């Protein structure tokens, strides 16, 4: 075991290295170890790994941005017109985007340090594999989320504007002189690394029990997320392979029509294959709560407005839900000035405390939809695609479809994807990965070719690392 002091940098930027270093673990005191301690015990490794999970709760991650912002940047959510909060996002204004760079690289820096220290640590092999598996999954998750925000996806690129994804920081940084000013990785290299991390994660977690799900990583979670990554990569054979592994993993339970509404009121969503947990002392509060952005009802019993509810259900999306669709039961009218607004209540203080909601990262329903799309884009697999899409349709209370082929089949898959995954952070990213223009709720068209489809590389990072190429238009 290396005797080390643990330093934390912005993983890429020398400028941050000259400022005070954040502690390795940005978690509550009961979960933290001192940053100067060596990773030389089981407890220290587990606490450090818990610290990585905690970064998922950051408001630039699943604490807010990765769920709320894609709905406004896309077109499932329309701005209520009350106030200016999030208004720029709804019109895809210059500079209004997600910003997961700093927190993402803080997590990756921690992961690299822990993985490096784990190699020489003399511990039980199964336990070490469990730690390594979780960390490889989390590194892939952080990298993929950043790549979606700052770079083009393999399935849709503007060739003249493609300046890569994000730098692949894979080595531990233990001192200032070890900081590397890396270039942005190509899309091919980025996805090669994602596949490597997820393959390792799956193998390492072979002995991890499903009882750890959904707030800790399991093989089922890895395969489920892998099906998403492969879909973004246009690797449809891999989507089908990983979806099959996920759906037979025993992690999560597919909601029935009868349980669908209640499952979105449960503290832990039964469909979650991986979910970010928020405990009472980790409540982000009304100013940052996903619930407060989507609805001004604090819970089912609310009679007075609480929260902004500025991201209402767009009229176009609302019209797509058929009257008997069970998913429509989650859309409620707002209160007070928002009494005419249709508001999504998937996040509805499900933790039993106002504004406290665990956040599903990937659900079983998405895995079926991922596989349905992969089948639909594979010649001769139309029946399999319709079988998966009918799982979603019949559960919603809709009649099954039959006889769909080519564009009609693809369009049905994408329609059900939009209806099922609404207000879960997919809208903008689905249009982007498909290279599609977005018809905004006000009727204006946001073109895929617009430079604002990508976020700006943070200026601090760009100015400090001369190897970075800024996205066009900024």
Reduce the secondary structure of 278-319 to three states and give it as a string: CCHHHCCCCCCCHHHHHCCCCCCCCCCCCCCCCEEECHHHHH
| Average pLDDT value over all residues in the chain | 92
- The pairs formed by 394-398 with CB atoms below 8 angstroms and a separation of 24 or more are 394/257, 395/254, 395/255, 395/256, 395/257, 395/260, 395/326, 396/257, 396/260, 396/325, 396/326, 396/327, 396/420, 397/257, 397/322, 397/324, 397/325, 397/326, 398/322, 398/324, 398/325
The tokens 């005070």 sit on which residue?
A: 20
Concatenated DSSP letters of 40-88: -SHHHHHHHHHHHHHHTTSTTTTTTHHHHHHHHHTTSEEE-SSSSTTHH
Specify the 3-state DSSP secondary structure of 274: strand
Q: Which helix (H) or strand (E) holds 323?
A: none
> Is pLDDT above 90 for 13?
no
> Which domains, and CATH codes, for the chain?
1-61+100-208 (1.25.40.390)
**Model confidence over 141-198: pLDDT tens digits?**
999 999 999 999 999 988 889 999 999 999 999 877 788 899 999 999 999 999 999 9
Mean pLDDT computed over 59-70: 98
pLDDT in tens, 276-309: 999 999 998 999 999 999 999 999 999 999 989 9
pLDDT 10s digits, 300-352: 999 999 989 999 999 999 999 999 999 999 999 999 999 999 999 999 999 99
Length of the chain: 474
Q: Is the pLDDT of residue 35 over 80?
A: no
Q: What is the pTM of this model?
A: 0.93
β-strand pairing of 331-333 with 342-344: antiparallel
């Amino acid at each position: 075991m290396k005797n080390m002091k643990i330093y934390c940098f912005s993983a890429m930027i020398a400028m941050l290295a000259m400022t005070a270093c954040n502690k390795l673990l940005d978690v509550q005191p009961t979960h933290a170890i001192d940053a100067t301690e060596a990773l030389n015990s089981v407890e220290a490794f587990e606490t450090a790994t818990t610290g990585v999970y905690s970064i998922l709760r950051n408001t630039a991650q699943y604490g807010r941005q990765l769920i709320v912002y894609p709905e406004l940047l896309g077109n499932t959510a329309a701005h209520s017109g009350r106030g200016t909060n999030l208004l720029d996002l709804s019109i895809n204004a210059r500079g209004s985007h997600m910003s997961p760079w700093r927190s993402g690289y803080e997590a990756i820096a921690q992961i690299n340090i822990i993985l490096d220290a784990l190699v020489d640590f003399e511990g039980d092999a199964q336990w070490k594999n469990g730690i390594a598996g979780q960390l490889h999954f989390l590194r892939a998750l952080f990298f993929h989320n950043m790549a979606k925000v700052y770079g083009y996806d393999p399935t849709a690129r503007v060739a003249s504007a493609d300046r890569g994804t994000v730098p692949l920081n894979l080595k531990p940084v233990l001192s200032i002189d070890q900081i590397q000013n890396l270039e942005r990785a190509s899309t091919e290299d980025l996805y090669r690394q994602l596949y490597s991390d997820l393959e390792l994660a799956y193998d390492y977690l072979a002995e991890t029990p499903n009882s750890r799900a959904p707030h800790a990583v399991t093989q089922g979670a890895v395969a489920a997320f892998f099906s998403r990554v492969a879909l973004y990569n246009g690797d449809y054979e891999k989507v089908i392979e990983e979806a099959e592994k996920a759906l037979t993993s025993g992690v999560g339970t597919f909601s029935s029509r009868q349980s669908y509404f209640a499952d979105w009121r449960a503290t832990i969503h039964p469909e979650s294959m991986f979910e970010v947990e928020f405990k009472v002392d980790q409540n982000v509060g009304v100013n940052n709560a996903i619930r407060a952005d989507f609805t001004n009802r604090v819970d089912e019993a609310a009679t007075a407005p609480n929260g902004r509810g500025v991201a209402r259900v767009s009229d176009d999306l609302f019209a797509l839900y058929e009257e008997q669709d069970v998913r429509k039961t989650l859309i409620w009218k707002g209160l007070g000035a928002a009494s005419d607004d249709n508001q999504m209540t998937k996040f509805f203080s499900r933790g039993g405390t106002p504004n406290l909601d665990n956040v599903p990262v990937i659900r079983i329903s998405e895995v079926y939809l991922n596989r349905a799309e992969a089948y639909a884009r594979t010649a001769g697999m139309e029946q399999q695609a319709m079988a998966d899409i009918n799982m979603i349709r019949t559960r919603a209370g809709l009649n099954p479809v039959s006889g769909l082929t080519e564009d009609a089949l693809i369009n049905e898959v994408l329609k059900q994807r939009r209806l099922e995954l609404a207000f879960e952070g997919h809208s903008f990213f689905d249009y982007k990965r498909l290279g599609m223009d977005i018809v905004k709720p006000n009727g204006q068209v946001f073109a895929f070719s617009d430079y604002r489809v990508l976020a700006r590389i943070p200026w601090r990072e760009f100015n400090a690392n001369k190897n970075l190429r800024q996205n066009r238009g900024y």
